[in-house]
Amino acid sequence: MNAGRSQNLKKVLDSVPAGYLVDANWLIAHGIAYETFRDYVKRGWLERVHRGVFRRPVPNPPASNTVDWKACLISMQNIMDYDIHVGGKTALSQQGYDHYL
């Protein structure tokens, strides 16, 4: 691996905590070439969650292979800078108003 690729990988590993998600657009914007995604997955530096979505591996993964919706939301808001929010029943429940539902 050359110095440029290792610097790009270090930026990704420093920016994304374990268990959080990034998408292909975010990786490309941070200098990771599309061809290297498979290499990072093969080496265990990223996990492929879905087409174009990757997760930083968790040291002690839970028994189920599901993605927590809160980690997904935080990843989209804070890491990938998408302008999204939770609405509806989930928003009311998170505010403590689920007894009205």
For residue 1, pLDDT over 60 is answered with: no
Closest CA to 89 of 79, 81, 98: 98
pLDDT reported for residue 63: 67
C-beta of residue 37 within 8 angstroms of C-beta of residue 24: yes
What is the structure's pLDDT at 53?
94
Question: Which pLDDT value is given to residue 27?
Answer: 92
pLDDT of residue 2: 61
Our measurement of the distance from residue 89's CA atom to the centroid of its chain's CA atoms, rounded to an integer in Å, reads 24
Q: Tell me the pLDDT tens digit for each residue of 12-65.
A: 788 899 889 999 999 999 888 888 888 889 998 899 999 999 999 888 777 677
State the pLDDT at residue 61. 72
C-alpha dihedral, 53 to 79 to 77 to 51, nearest 10°:
-10
pLDDT at 75 over 90: yes
